[in-house]
Amino acid sequence: MVKKVRLAVFASGTGTNFQALNDAIIQRNLNAEIVRLVVDHSKAGVLNLAKVFGVPATTIIYSRYLDKTAAEQAIIAQLESDRVDGILLAGYMRILTPLLINRYLGKIINLHPAMLPSFPGRHSILDAFEAGVNKTGVTVHFVDNGIDTGEIIAQEAVPIKKDDTLEQLETRIHHVEHVLYPNTLEKLLKEGVFLK
């Protein structure tokens, strides 16, 4: 029997990408299971989804730790206890330190709402919208020690229409995210990335 890949999802928001990933794993019968959700504040809507899905959740309040390294040591201890093979960042609004990145190097995947290397950082949808470009997109990439600089795995363009509002653009980007991220996860699982 093939070992199921044990994944942790890190999220800070409502959890729409967490849901898309979890749904894909179940509906496509992928060789993986989400064994841990990590959030960085207690009011994250994604916590409600974790309860529905039966995924154990850990809330790390960074301000309660001496520093970011101490907070990540607590995260690593939990992930090791869960025997996690890989990490999927799904709207996690924290920059990871080399401590966590190097522990899971090549096994941390991030979803970014722009066509990297254009528009890195936290406000990428707004930045693209205000820049007046005619397209942006979605990128899935490996996490390295830079900000949105890791090797790109998959991308899909999203047009910016002349009469778009920011909300309309955000909706279209999120729709692409919910398809591209699960598809990319399926590809990575088939390639055995998390078990290397």
Q: Please tell me the pTM assigned to this model.
A: 0.96
User: How many distinct structural domains can be found in the chain?
Assistant: 1
Kindly give, in sequence order, each residue whose CB lies less than 8 Å from that of residue 67, ignoring residues fewer than 6 positions away: none
Domain assignment present for residue 131? The answer is no
Domain assignment present for residue 184? The answer is yes
Q: Which residue range forms the structural domain that includes residue 34?
A: 5-111+140-152+177-195
Catalytic annotation present for 112 = yes
Would you say 86 is a known binding-site residue?
A: no
The predicted-structure confidence for 28-67, as pLDDT tens digits, reads as follows 999 999 999 999 999 999 999 999 999 999 999 999 999 9
Long-range contacts of 68-73 (CB under 8 A, 24+ apart): 68/97, 69/97, 69/99, 72/96, 72/97, 72/99, 72/100, 73/99
Question: Strand ranges (DSSP E) for the chain?
Answer: 5-11, 32-39, 57-59, 86-89, 108-112, 135-142, 152-159
Would you say 48 is a known binding-site residue?
A: no
Domain assignment present for residue 101? The answer is yes
Domain assignment present for residue 186? The answer is yes
Kindly give, in sequence order, each residue whose CB lies less than 8 Å from that of residue 131, ignoring residues fewer than 6 positions away: 119
Asked if residue 55 lies in contact with residue 86, where contact means CB atoms within 8 angstroms, the answer is no
Match 């301000």 to its residue by tokens.
63
Cα separation values, 93 from 56, 124, 167, Å: 20, 13, 20
Strand partners for 140: 111, 154
| CA 123 to centroid of chain Cα atoms | 16
Domain assignment present for residue 160? The answer is no
Would you say 100 is a known binding-site residue?
A: no
Q: How far apart, in whole angstroms, are the C-alpha atoms of residue 196 and residue 184?
A: 17
Confidence of residue 154 (pLDDT cuts 50, 70, 90): very high
Choosing from 112, 123, 141, 174, which is the catalytic residue? Answer: 112
The predicted-structure confidence for 110-150, as pLDDT tens digits, reads as follows 999 999 999 999 899 999 999 999 999 999 999 999 999 99
Domain assignment present for residue 166? The answer is no
Would you say 1 is a known binding-site residue?
A: no
- Using DSSP's 3-state secondary structure scheme, residue 38 falls into strand
Domain assignment present for residue 69? The answer is yes
What's the CATH code of the domain at 181?
A: 3.40.50.170
Domain assignment present for residue 80? The answer is yes
Average pLDDT of every residue of the chain:
95
Q: Mean of the pLDDT values across residues 153-181?
A: 96
**Residue 194 pLDDT:** 96
Cα separation values, 90 from 17, 132, 186, Å: 6, 27, 16
Model confidence at 1: pLDDT above 80: no
Using only the alpha carbons of the chain, give its radius of gyration: 16
